[in-house]
């Protein structure tokens, strides 16, 4: 089943960029599956690089899967303060993960994953 067929929220790209900026500076991010982002960035990448690209499409929305048990989400707009509670952390890496798709008619779903910092 796709994100659109399950409980989901509408997430403006600019809101996601704002939330990423609010995370610790040492956090890096990994994207798996989005053809546009993976064509313009090398992953994992630091937050500022990802934010820069998301700000370029600030008028576009994403659809964010809500994995909360019993969720009744039906495309309501979510703000950056809600994202911590919507992150999936019940995964093998215990990192914040989001399943997203662009709200442009595409069926391509992709993951945004908090990654470990890269240290020299």
Sequence ranges of the domains in the chain:
6-115
Whether 120 has a pLDDT exceeding 60, the answer reads no
pTM for the full model?
Answer: 0.91
As to burial, measured by CB atoms within 10 angstroms (0-12 exposed, 13-18 middle, 19+ buried), residue 27 is middle
93 is written with which tokens? Answer: 């890496």
As to burial, measured by CB atoms within 10 angstroms (0-12 exposed, 13-18 middle, 19+ buried), residue 82 is middle
Whether 10 has a pLDDT exceeding 80, the answer reads yes
Q: What is the pLDDT of residues 17-42, one digit of tens each?
A: 999 999 988 889 999 999 999 999 99
Percent share of the chain, pLDDT over 70: 98
27 is written with which tokens? Answer: 């956090």
């Amino acid at each position: 089943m796709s994100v659109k067929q399950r409980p989901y929220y509408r997430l403006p790209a600019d809101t996601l960029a704002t939330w990423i900026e609010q995370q610790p500076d040492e956090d890096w991010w990994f994207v798996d599956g989005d053809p546009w982002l993976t064509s313009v960035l090398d992953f994992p990448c630091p937050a500022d690089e990802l934010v820069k690209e998301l700000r370029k499409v600030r008028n576009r929305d994403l659809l964010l899967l809500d994995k909360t048990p019993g969720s009744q989400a039906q495309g309501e707009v979510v703000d950056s303060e809600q994202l911590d509670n919507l992150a999936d952390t019940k995964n093998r890496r215990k990192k914040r993960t989001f399943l997203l798709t662009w709200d442009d008619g595409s069926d391509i779903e992709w993951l945004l994953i908090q990654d470990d910092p890269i240290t020299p």
